[in-house]
Amino acid sequence: MSSGNSVYHFNSAIVREPSRSVVDGLRAGEHASPTYERVKAEHDDYIAAMRDAGVRVTILLALEAFPDSIFVEDPALVFTEGAILLRPGAASRMGEAAAIAPALRDMFDTVLDLPGDGYVDGGDVLTTPQGVMIGLSARTDKTGAEALAVCIDKLGRKAKLVATPEGVLHFKTDCSLLDEETVLSTARLARSGVFKDFKQIIIPEGEEAAANALRVNDVLMVPAEHPRTLDMLDRLGYRIVAMKTAEIGRIDAGLSCLSLRWYRKGE
């Protein structure tokens, strides 16, 4: 496997089992609730796909007190160089960083706490070869983003604050990294010019939810419910693994939210 210098080569990941309370997860619209059984099935398939891609997966126990805790990417960030505990922007998720901290301290020599009193959700953070983009959103404020940029700098990386389109939950709701120089983006995010230094693949109209794909080593996990996007990416030569996301989509989530991924040296 390639070294940890690449931003999508991973050999380690953390996931958390869904709680039965996941049916009460946050959602922006009037979606029907998911069922625990179907969320669990999607999550099990996700773990299997990660392992098939060559990743060692650590599975944390469910947290019934936190319905959204299956989405481990929001309360923390991980890199080869260390981890950062965040402060999610939704009040009901405020205890999730403290809950995941022991696992991160067990696995990383360096674990930084987000300083100050700002908010950051990991769903607003896109790591690219050119640096780490932090999207300002309803869940990530400027104070939190600037504090996170300082933490990222301490880990030897550089960060850049960018804007998330109005009405979009997270920056990564609308984009994902396909390879070292290419991003998958919705038209509304691409129009902002944030990806002017990248090759851009634009999601077909009406399939915007497919923008949250996930590149892991040689495979590209893509939400299975979006056939035109799947066909487009397949024709472009990406090795596609179609993943069911209908249930987690009911609680405003996508593929990247479900894991913390990094390259652990010496594995």
Is residue 257 annotated as a catalytic residue, yes or no? yes
Tell me if 174 is assigned to a ligand binding site: no
Tell me whether residue 9 is one of the annotated catalytic residues: no
38 is in an annotated binding site: no
Residue from 9, 43, 170, 226 carrying the catalytic annotation: 170
| Distance from C-alpha of 124 to C-alpha of 64, rounded to nearest angstrom | 25
Q: Does 239 belong to an annotated binding site?
A: no
Q: Cβ atoms within 10 A of the Cβ of 54, count?
A: 14
- List the structure tokens of 178: 């396909």
Contact 76, 60 (CB under 8 A): no
Q: Is 14 annotated as a binding residue?
A: no
**Ranges of H-type helices in the chain:** 36-52, 96-107, 142-154, 187-190, 227-235, 246-249
Question: Is 73 annotated as contributing to ligand binding?
Answer: yes
Q: Is 152 one of the annotated binding-site residues? A: no
Answer whether 254's CB lies under 8 Å from 248's CB.
yes
Residue whose structure tokens are 């998911």? 34
203 labelled ligand-binding: no
Reported in sequence order, the residue ranges of 129-267 that DSSP labels E, i.e. its strands, are: 131-136, 159-163, 175-177, 182-185, 199-202, 214-216, 219-223, 240-243, 260-262
Q: How far apart are CA 263 and CA 11, in angstroms?
A: 5
Feature table: binding site for substrate: 26, 68, 73-74, 93, 139, 251
Could you list the active site residues? 170, 257
Query: Which parts are annotated binding residues?
Result: 26, 68, 73-74, 93, 139, 251
